[in-house]
Amino acid sequence: MPSRQHHDEFETNQFLGKELQYFSQAGFDLDRIHIKRNAPVATLYEDAIMNEGAVISSSGALINFSGKKTGRSPKDKRIVYEETSKDHIWWGPVNIKMDEHTFEINRERAIDYLNTRENVYVFDGFAGWDPKYRIKVRVIASRAYHALFMHNMLIRPTPEELANFGQPDFIIYNAGQFPANRFTAGMTSTTSVEVNFKRMEMVILGTEYAGEMKKGIFSVMHYLQPVKFGQLSLHSSANQAMGDKDDVTLFFGLSGTGKTTLSADPHRVLIGDDEHVWSDTGVFNIEGGCYAKCINLSAEKEPEIFNAIRFGSILENVVYNPADRKPDYDDVSITENTRCAYPIEFIPNAKIPCIADRQPSNIVMLTCDAYGVLPPVSRLTPEQASYHFVAGYTSKTPGTEMGIVEPSPTFSTCYGQPFIILHPGVYAKMLAERMQRANANCWLINTGWTGGKFGTGKRCPLKYTRAIIDAIHDGSLAKAEFETFPTFNLAIPKAVNGVPSEILHPARVWPDQDAFQFELQKLAGMFQRAYSKYEANIDPAIKQAGPVLA
């Protein structure tokens, strides 16, 4: 059959060159499978459309579906217990142990499955923009969609870098289309996402959610950066002022709090939207792309992200109109967690390479408080900054699920509990030291509810949150007059340009004061219980900076 495959030279195994030996040694059956290494975006489109049910959207993005799993599976994540890393790791429900032998069984299962495919996709790229601290990552996957996803999310090598790639530092075997065997020791489901720091490998079985690969690399960086390089990895976005005034801001926050949305700012250059390292010399992005939420996306409110959805971008689990292939961003029938993955240069203000050669001036901790208790903005002392970082508060809002009427509080330490590998106190200590050295201001911003909790109040309008961030950046907020917000003892400004001043103090916009007091005390109690889980390893002075119950 005269197929297209025979025309593209990169698709023939002998063009793997020096890499050929690696693939045969790793157990890949090169007589059977076709390895497509760093294939062009167009090829990945064609294959995903022919074999995986993908379609092209009206703006040229590739619409893909991840199957049954439309989010990460933290309960199925495992870390291999082995002598080189075991003493560093924060073992427990976040980092669940797996033995080396089980890892070998699953790794073999993944490779066996990949050997049954006609095409196996390989993407070689980098994680970490600073050449001093970057690692070489190899992704091996059965779906073209997964290769394109990592092509967008990792840092794409130049042709020279690819030709001289050499041994990767870390390898992902993604056989997510194939399940784990539930009779394999330690398997609690058909999904398994496992990391081995001795082999420096990751195996994925039984989930096709592409975000597992992205966050898997993040976990690796949360191990390697502090342990090997002495640098601090953070779940944050980052941007920088343009021109001479080149101050840097980091935005910490859990999923849905606004890292991606707020870091895309027409007045500032984007360093990155999700994963960074605060190094001795500045801040660098770990990734080469962004992974934005698409739910209710609009061109008016988030033009940078909306316009990044074009040829080369991947839309995940987004419903489209078959008549015109226009995505329907309001449709949640597949999932609320609809996403778009695009290379960072699709954002017009992105700074390439994604490195800021200076220390951050402002640290913004984002929270989406569905109780409407926390102020839209407060200034934190260094101890309060450590406290809130360790507590890692946000809330999940009631979605369209039946019966869920109450917001559910989430405390996810370091604003990224599922991805941390060491004890939270290690990251918190490094953060406090760096903030002190950089003399950075720290702000807590509530992008969540105001004027009442979920159901009675409303989410803080994006334009007000943006005005608050503008006031941080133009220096006016630091000079504002402050008053004390009780119980949490937070310093809150009396006025911010472009924001109605009554919303700055939550009590003033709650119609029912008793209800406000009740929610305030309730949330403070939740903070105390959450924090007590970590306090044993952390300076007692930090605990004093938390809320105090009346």
Interaction site with ligand ATP (CB under 6 A): 253, 255-262, 274, 291-293, 295, 447, 459-460, 462, 465
Question: Closest CB to Mn ion among 143 and 215?
Answer: 215
- Residue 338 binds which entry of ligand ATP, Mn ion, none, CB below 5-8 Å type-dependent: none
Q: Can 255 be counted among the known catalytic residues? A: yes
- Residue 256 binds which entry of Mn ion, ligand ATP, none, CB below 5-8 Å type-dependent: ligand ATP
Alpha carbons 386 and 390: distance in angstroms, whole number: 6
Alpha carbons 151 and 58: distance in angstroms, whole number: 22
Question: Closest CB to ligand ATP among 168 and 258?
Answer: 258
Question: Closest CB to Mn ion among 52 and 304?
Answer: 304
Q: Count CB atoms within 10 A of the CB of residue 93.
A: 8
Q: Which two tokens stand for residue 52?
A: 């995986």
- Residue 253 binds which entry of Mn ion, ligand ATP, none, CB below 5-8 Å type-dependent: ligand ATP
- Residue 397 binds which entry of ligand ATP, Mn ion, none, CB below 5-8 Å type-dependent: none
Would you give the distance in Å from CA 57 to the centre of its chain?
25
Coil vs helix vs strand at 306: helix
Question: Closest CB to Mn ion among 260 and 338?
Answer: 260
The least CB distance from residue 290 to ligand ATP, in Å, is 9
Q: Catalytic: which of 47, 76, 130, 274?
A: 274
Strands (E), 309-407: 314-316, 320-321, 326-327, 339-343, 355-356, 362-367, 377-380, 393-396
Question: By the criterion CB under 5 A, which residues form the site for Mn ion?
Answer: 259-260, 274
Q: Catalytic: which of 142, 255, 395, 450?
A: 255
CA quadruple 263, 268, 272, 277: dihedral positive or negative? negative
Which of 155, 135, 136 is closest to 228 using CA atoms? 135
- Residue 507 binds which entry of Mn ion, ligand ATP, none, CB below 5-8 Å type-dependent: none
Alpha carbons 231 and 353: distance in angstroms, whole number: 19
The least CB distance from residue 289 to ligand ATP, in Å, is 12
Q: Catalytic: which of 69, 138, 268, 339?
A: 339
- Residue 432 binds which entry of ligand ATP, Mn ion, none, CB below 5-8 Å type-dependent: none
Alpha carbons 322 and 243: distance in angstroms, whole number: 45
Question: Closest CB to ligand ATP among 187 and 350?
Answer: 350
- Residue 317 binds which entry of Mn ion, ligand ATP, none, CB below 5-8 Å type-dependent: none
Question: Closest CB to ligand ATP among 177 and 447?
Answer: 447
Question: Closest CB to Mn ion among 253 and 372?
Answer: 253
Question: Closest CB to Mn ion among 124 and 274?
Answer: 274
Q: Catalytic: which of 207, 260, 313, 412?
A: 260
Rg from Cα positions in the chain: 23
330 Cβ contact partners less than 8 Å away, ≥ 6 residues apart? 295, 296
Q: Can 215 be counted among the known catalytic residues? A: yes
* Secondary structure in 3-state letters for 418-466: HHCCCCHHHHHHHHHHHHHHHCCEEEEEECCEECCCCCCCEECCHHHHH
The least CB distance from residue 356 to Mn ion, in Å, is 19
Q: Can 3 be counted among the known catalytic residues? A: no
Q: Catalytic: which of 215, 222, 351, 388?
A: 215
The least CB distance from residue 125 to ligand ATP, in Å, is 20
| One-letter amino acid for residue 52 of the chain | E
- Residue 257 binds which entry of Mn ion, ligand ATP, none, CB below 5-8 Å type-dependent: ligand ATP
Q: Catalytic: which of 36, 77, 107, 259?
A: 259
Alpha carbons 547 and 485: distance in angstroms, whole number: 10
The least CB distance from residue 466 to ligand ATP, in Å, is 8
Q: Catalytic: which of 69, 72, 117, 388?
A: 72
Q: Can 463 be counted among the known catalytic residues? A: no
Q: Can 529 be counted among the known catalytic residues? A: no
| One-letter amino acid for residue 368 of the chain | C
Question: Closest CB to ligand ATP among 493 and 546?
Answer: 493
The least CB distance from residue 149 to ligand ATP, in Å, is 14
The least CB distance from residue 444 to Mn ion, in Å, is 19
* Secondary structure in 3-state letters for 104-167: HHHHHHHHHHHHCCCEEEEEEEEECCCCCCCEEEEEEECCHHHHHHHHHHCECCCHHHHHCCCC
DSSP state of 61: P
Q: Catalytic: which of 214, 235, 434, 473?
A: 235
Q: Which residue is nearest to ligand ATP (CB)?
A: 258
Q: Can 339 be counted among the known catalytic residues? A: yes
CA quadruple 512, 517, 519, 520: dihedral positive or negative? positive
Q: Can 514 be counted among the known catalytic residues? A: no
The least CB distance from residue 218 to Mn ion, in Å, is 12
Alpha carbons 520 and 487: distance in angstroms, whole number: 8
The least CB distance from residue 180 to ligand ATP, in Å, is 25
466 Cβ contact partners less than 8 Å away, ≥ 6 residues apart? 262, 265
- Residue 231 binds which entry of ligand ATP, Mn ion, none, CB below 5-8 Å type-dependent: none
Catalytic residues: 72, 215, 235, 255, 259-260, 274, 339
